[in-house]
Structure 1
Amino acid sequence: MTTLGEFIKERREAKGWSKRRLATEADISHTEVHRIEIGERQNPSAPVLSSIADALGVPQEEMLRIAGYIDDDENVPLIARVFPDLKTEKQQETVQKIVDGLARNSDLEEKDYDDLVDQMEMFLAHAKKKKNSK
Protein backbone atom coordinates (compact mmCIF):
# COMPACT_ATOMS: atom_id res chain seq x y z
CA MET A 1 0.00 0.00 0.00
CA THR A 2 1.29 3.44 -0.92
CA THR A 3 1.75 5.91 1.91
CA LEU A 4 0.47 9.46 1.68
CA GLY A 5 4.01 10.78 1.31
CA GLU A 6 4.82 8.30 -1.46
CA PHE A 7 1.60 9.15 -3.28
CA ILE A 8 2.33 12.89 -3.18
CA LYS A 9 5.94 12.39 -4.21
CA GLU A 10 4.94 10.17 -7.15
CA ARG A 11 2.37 12.70 -8.36
CA ARG A 12 4.81 15.60 -7.91
CA GLU A 13 7.59 13.83 -9.81
CA ALA A 14 5.18 12.81 -12.58
CA LYS A 15 4.61 16.54 -13.15
CA GLY A 16 8.36 17.14 -13.11
CA TRP A 17 8.03 19.46 -10.12
CA SER A 18 10.44 20.08 -7.28
CA LYS A 19 9.22 20.15 -3.70
CA ARG A 20 9.56 23.92 -3.78
CA ARG A 21 7.36 24.14 -6.91
CA LEU A 22 4.64 22.02 -5.30
CA ALA A 23 4.85 24.15 -2.16
CA THR A 24 4.45 27.32 -4.21
CA GLU A 25 1.52 25.91 -6.19
CA ALA A 26 -0.18 24.66 -2.99
CA ASP A 27 0.66 27.82 -1.03
CA ILE A 28 2.38 25.91 1.78
CA SER A 29 6.01 25.74 2.90
CA HIS A 30 8.46 23.50 1.06
CA THR A 31 9.46 22.17 4.48
CA GLU A 32 5.88 20.95 4.98
CA VAL A 33 5.98 19.19 1.60
CA HIS A 34 9.28 17.55 2.54
CA ARG A 35 8.01 16.43 5.95
CA ILE A 36 4.87 14.91 4.41
CA GLU A 37 6.79 13.10 1.68
CA ILE A 38 9.32 11.51 4.05
CA GLY A 39 6.56 10.48 6.47
CA GLU A 40 7.64 12.79 9.28
CA ARG A 41 4.30 14.62 9.06
CA GLN A 42 1.80 11.77 8.97
CA ASN A 43 -1.40 13.66 9.72
CA PRO A 44 -1.41 16.89 7.74
CA SER A 45 -4.58 18.92 8.08
CA ALA A 46 -7.41 18.52 5.60
CA PRO A 47 -6.90 22.08 4.25
CA VAL A 48 -3.21 21.37 3.56
CA LEU A 49 -4.11 18.12 1.80
CA SER A 50 -6.81 19.86 -0.21
CA SER A 51 -4.31 22.50 -1.34
CA ILE A 52 -1.82 19.82 -2.38
CA ALA A 53 -4.54 17.89 -4.20
CA ASP A 54 -5.62 21.00 -6.11
CA ALA A 55 -2.04 21.81 -7.04
CA LEU A 56 -1.40 18.28 -8.28
CA GLY A 57 -4.75 17.99 -10.06
CA VAL A 58 -5.84 15.11 -7.85
CA PRO A 59 -9.43 14.91 -6.59
CA GLN A 60 -9.52 16.15 -2.99
CA GLU A 61 -11.59 13.15 -1.96
CA GLU A 62 -8.87 10.79 -3.23
CA MET A 63 -6.18 12.66 -1.30
CA LEU A 64 -8.28 12.67 1.88
CA ARG A 65 -9.03 8.97 1.46
CA ILE A 66 -5.32 8.10 1.13
CA ALA A 67 -4.59 10.22 4.20
CA GLY A 68 -7.28 8.37 6.18
CA TYR A 69 -9.62 11.32 6.56
CA ILE A 70 -12.36 9.46 4.68
CA ASP A 71 -13.17 5.83 5.39
CA ASP A 72 -13.00 3.73 2.24
CA ASP A 73 -16.14 1.79 3.10
CA GLU A 74 -18.35 4.43 4.60
CA ASN A 75 -17.28 7.78 3.08
CA VAL A 76 -17.40 9.08 6.63
CA PRO A 77 -15.07 12.01 7.37
CA LEU A 78 -12.46 11.23 10.02
CA ILE A 79 -13.71 14.10 12.18
CA ALA A 80 -17.13 12.40 12.36
CA ARG A 81 -15.49 9.15 13.48
CA VAL A 82 -13.45 10.99 16.12
CA PHE A 83 -16.45 13.04 17.30
CA PRO A 84 -19.45 10.75 16.65
CA ASP A 85 -21.90 13.09 18.43
CA LEU A 86 -21.50 15.69 15.68
CA LYS A 87 -24.76 15.42 13.79
CA THR A 88 -24.40 17.83 10.90
CA GLU A 89 -21.78 18.57 8.29
CA LYS A 90 -21.64 22.15 9.63
CA GLN A 91 -20.72 20.89 13.10
CA GLN A 92 -18.06 18.61 11.63
CA GLU A 93 -16.60 21.43 9.54
CA THR A 94 -16.56 23.79 12.52
CA VAL A 95 -14.74 21.36 14.80
CA GLN A 96 -12.29 20.45 12.01
CA LYS A 97 -11.52 24.16 11.46
CA ILE A 98 -10.89 24.65 15.18
CA VAL A 99 -8.60 21.62 15.42
CA ASP A 100 -6.75 22.51 12.19
CA GLY A 101 -6.41 26.16 13.17
CA LEU A 102 -4.98 25.32 16.57
CA ALA A 103 -2.63 22.73 15.10
CA ARG A 104 -1.42 25.08 12.35
CA ASN A 105 -1.04 28.19 14.49
CA SER A 106 0.84 26.65 17.36
CA ASP A 107 4.09 24.82 17.75
CA LEU A 108 2.50 21.38 18.08
CA GLU A 109 4.31 18.18 17.31
CA GLU A 110 2.51 15.17 15.83
CA LYS A 111 1.96 13.55 19.25
CA ASP A 112 0.31 16.74 20.47
CA TYR A 113 -2.42 16.47 17.82
CA ASP A 114 -4.07 13.58 19.71
CA ASP A 115 -4.03 15.67 22.88
CA LEU A 116 -5.76 18.45 20.95
CA VAL A 117 -8.48 16.05 19.82
CA ASP A 118 -8.90 14.87 23.44
CA GLN A 119 -9.34 18.48 24.55
CA MET A 120 -11.99 19.04 21.87
CA GLU A 121 -13.84 15.92 23.04
CA MET A 122 -13.84 17.21 26.63
CA PHE A 123 -15.08 20.62 25.48
CA LEU A 124 -17.90 19.07 23.43
CA ALA A 125 -18.93 16.84 26.36
CA HIS A 126 -18.95 19.86 28.67
CA ALA A 127 -21.03 21.92 26.22
CA LYS A 128 -23.52 19.04 25.80
CA LYS A 129 -23.79 18.58 29.58
CA LYS A 130 -24.30 22.31 30.09
CA LYS A 131 -27.03 22.42 27.42
CA ASN A 132 -28.82 19.40 28.93
CA SER A 133 -28.77 20.92 32.43
CA LYS A 134 -30.77 23.99 31.38
Structure 2
Amino acid sequence: MEHAFGSYLKQQRELQGYSINQLADAAGISNSQISRIENGVRGVPKPATIRKLADALSVPYAEMMKQAGYMEEMNTTTDARVTPEWATYKDRRDFKKMLEDEDDLMFDGIPLDDEDKKRIKDVLTGLFWEAKQMNKRKKTTDPDENK
Protein backbone atom coordinates (compact mmCIF):
# COMPACT_ATOMS: atom_id res chain seq x y z
CA MET A 1 0.00 0.00 0.00
CA GLU A 2 2.86 2.41 0.82
CA HIS A 3 4.30 2.27 -2.68
CA ALA A 4 0.84 2.56 -4.24
CA PHE A 5 0.23 5.75 -2.27
CA GLY A 6 3.66 7.06 -3.19
CA SER A 7 2.94 6.53 -6.89
CA TYR A 8 -0.43 8.23 -6.47
CA LEU A 9 1.19 11.20 -4.71
CA LYS A 10 3.83 11.53 -7.43
CA GLN A 11 1.15 11.40 -10.12
CA GLN A 12 -0.87 14.13 -8.41
CA ARG A 13 2.23 16.29 -7.92
CA GLU A 14 3.21 15.95 -11.58
CA LEU A 15 -0.35 16.72 -12.73
CA GLN A 16 -0.06 20.03 -10.87
CA GLY A 17 3.33 20.66 -12.45
CA TYR A 18 5.04 20.83 -9.06
CA SER A 19 8.57 19.79 -8.31
CA ILE A 20 9.15 18.01 -5.02
CA ASN A 21 10.53 21.26 -3.59
CA GLN A 22 7.50 23.26 -4.72
CA LEU A 23 5.11 20.76 -3.14
CA ALA A 24 7.17 20.75 0.05
CA ASP A 25 6.92 24.55 0.27
CA ALA A 26 3.19 24.55 -0.51
CA ALA A 27 2.41 21.78 2.00
CA GLY A 28 4.81 22.90 4.72
CA ILE A 29 6.62 19.56 4.94
CA SER A 30 10.15 18.57 4.00
CA ASN A 31 11.12 17.68 0.45
CA SER A 32 12.95 14.59 1.75
CA GLN A 33 9.73 13.36 3.36
CA ILE A 34 7.85 13.74 0.06
CA SER A 35 10.65 11.96 -1.80
CA ARG A 36 10.61 9.06 0.68
CA ILE A 37 6.83 8.73 0.40
CA GLU A 38 6.90 8.76 -3.41
CA ASN A 39 9.70 6.17 -3.54
CA GLY A 40 8.01 3.85 -1.06
CA VAL A 41 10.81 4.25 1.47
CA ARG A 42 8.51 5.85 4.03
CA GLY A 43 5.12 4.36 4.90
CA VAL A 44 1.78 6.01 4.36
CA PRO A 45 1.82 9.40 6.09
CA LYS A 46 -0.44 10.33 8.98
CA PRO A 47 -3.81 11.94 8.22
CA ALA A 48 -2.52 15.39 9.25
CA THR A 49 0.23 15.15 6.62
CA ILE A 50 -2.24 13.89 4.05
CA ARG A 51 -4.40 16.94 4.80
CA LYS A 52 -1.45 19.24 4.06
CA LEU A 53 -0.67 17.40 0.82
CA ALA A 54 -4.32 17.38 -0.28
CA ASP A 55 -4.66 21.11 0.34
CA ALA A 56 -1.40 21.92 -1.45
CA LEU A 57 -2.37 19.79 -4.46
CA SER A 58 -6.06 20.83 -4.48
CA VAL A 59 -7.04 17.17 -4.27
CA PRO A 60 -10.06 16.19 -2.16
CA TYR A 61 -8.88 15.05 1.26
CA ALA A 62 -11.30 12.11 1.24
CA GLU A 63 -9.86 10.88 -2.05
CA MET A 64 -6.32 11.06 -0.75
CA MET A 65 -7.35 9.27 2.45
CA LYS A 66 -8.88 6.48 0.35
CA GLN A 67 -5.70 6.19 -1.69
CA ALA A 68 -3.71 5.98 1.54
CA GLY A 69 -5.90 3.12 2.76
CA TYR A 70 -7.48 5.00 5.66
CA MET A 71 -10.97 4.88 4.18
CA GLU A 72 -12.75 2.23 2.19
CA GLU A 73 -13.83 3.24 -1.28
CA MET A 74 -17.42 4.42 -1.24
CA ASN A 75 -19.58 3.55 -4.21
CA THR A 76 -21.24 6.59 -5.76
CA THR A 77 -24.05 7.07 -8.18
CA THR A 78 -24.69 10.34 -9.96
CA ASP A 79 -24.82 12.40 -6.78
CA ALA A 80 -26.00 10.02 -4.08
CA ARG A 81 -23.88 7.82 -1.88
CA VAL A 82 -24.74 4.15 -1.70
CA THR A 83 -24.92 3.05 1.89
CA PRO A 84 -23.63 -0.30 3.10
CA GLU A 85 -26.11 -3.16 2.81
CA TRP A 86 -26.11 -3.73 6.58
CA ALA A 87 -27.29 -0.15 7.31
CA THR A 88 -30.88 -0.06 8.52
CA TYR A 89 -33.46 2.41 7.32
CA LYS A 90 -33.11 4.24 10.65
CA ASP A 91 -29.29 4.44 10.20
CA ARG A 92 -29.70 5.99 6.75
CA ARG A 93 -32.47 8.38 7.81
CA ASP A 94 -30.64 9.63 10.91
CA PHE A 95 -27.32 10.09 9.10
CA LYS A 96 -28.96 11.91 6.18
CA LYS A 97 -30.80 14.23 8.56
CA MET A 98 -27.59 14.99 10.45
CA LEU A 99 -25.68 15.88 7.27
CA GLU A 100 -28.44 17.84 5.58
CA ASP A 101 -29.51 19.92 8.55
CA GLU A 102 -29.73 23.48 7.26
CA ASP A 103 -28.21 25.07 10.35
CA ASP A 104 -25.05 27.03 9.65
CA LEU A 105 -21.98 24.92 10.14
CA MET A 106 -19.10 26.79 11.69
CA PHE A 107 -15.50 26.07 12.46
CA ASP A 108 -13.66 28.23 14.94
CA GLY A 109 -16.53 30.72 14.77
CA ILE A 110 -16.32 31.07 10.98
CA PRO A 111 -19.28 29.92 8.83
CA LEU A 112 -18.34 27.26 6.28
CA ASP A 113 -19.11 27.78 2.61
CA ASP A 114 -20.79 25.12 0.44
CA GLU A 115 -17.47 23.70 -0.81
CA ASP A 116 -16.17 23.27 2.75
CA LYS A 117 -19.46 21.65 3.78
CA LYS A 118 -19.22 19.19 0.87
CA ARG A 119 -15.64 18.26 1.77
CA ILE A 120 -16.63 17.71 5.39
CA LYS A 121 -19.68 15.69 4.33
CA ASP A 122 -17.56 13.46 2.08
CA VAL A 123 -15.01 12.75 4.80
CA LEU A 124 -17.64 12.25 7.50
CA THR A 125 -19.63 9.90 5.29
CA GLY A 126 -16.66 7.61 4.79
CA LEU A 127 -15.60 7.74 8.42
CA PHE A 128 -19.15 7.26 9.71
CA TRP A 129 -19.85 4.10 7.73
CA GLU A 130 -16.39 2.75 8.53
CA ALA A 131 -16.98 3.32 12.25
CA LYS A 132 -20.44 1.76 12.09
CA GLN A 133 -18.98 -1.32 10.39
CA MET A 134 -16.25 -1.60 13.03
CA ASN A 135 -18.86 -1.39 15.81
CA LYS A 136 -20.92 -4.12 14.17
CA ARG A 137 -17.81 -6.36 13.95
CA LYS A 138 -17.06 -5.79 17.64
CA LYS A 139 -20.59 -6.85 18.59
CA THR A 140 -20.27 -10.07 16.62
CA THR A 141 -16.98 -11.15 18.23
CA ASP A 142 -16.94 -13.94 20.78
CA PRO A 143 -18.31 -12.60 24.09
CA ASP A 144 -15.95 -14.91 26.01
CA GLU A 145 -12.93 -13.02 24.67
CA ASN A 146 -13.27 -10.29 27.28
CA LYS A 147 -13.36 -12.63 30.26
When normalised by structure 2's length, the TM-score is 0.49
Corresponding pairs, count:
84
* Percent identity between the two aligned chains: 37
Name the amino acid aligned to 2:52.
S
1:1-134 to structure 2, matched below 5 A, reads 3-73=4-74, 75-76=126-127
Task: Please list every run of 5 or more consecutive structure 1 residues that lacks an aligned counterpart in the other structure.
Answer: 85-134
Task: Please list every run of 5 or more consecutive structure 2 residues that lacks an aligned counterpart in the other structure.
Answer: 75-83, 85-125, 136-147
Q: Which has the larger radius of gyration?
A: 2
Q: How far apart are the structure 2 equivalents of 1:30 and 1:63?
A: 19
Q: How far apart are the structure 1 equivalents of 2:7 and 2:48?
A: 19
Quote how far apart the aligned CAs of 1:80 are: 5.3
Name the amino acid aligned to 1:53.
A
Q: Contact 2:5–2:44 (CA<8 Å) still a contact in 1?
A: no
Quote how far apart the aligned CAs of 1:42 are: 1.9
Higher mean C-alpha displacement, 12-21 vs 59-68: 12-21
Quote how far apart the aligned CAs of 1:47 are: 0.5
Change in Cα spacing, 1:12 to 1:31, as seen in structure 2 (3 Å) is same
Q: How far apart are the structure 2 equivalents of 1:35 and 1:69?
A: 19
When normalised by structure 1's length, the TM-score is 0.54
Quote how far apart the aligned CAs of 1:76 are: 3.6
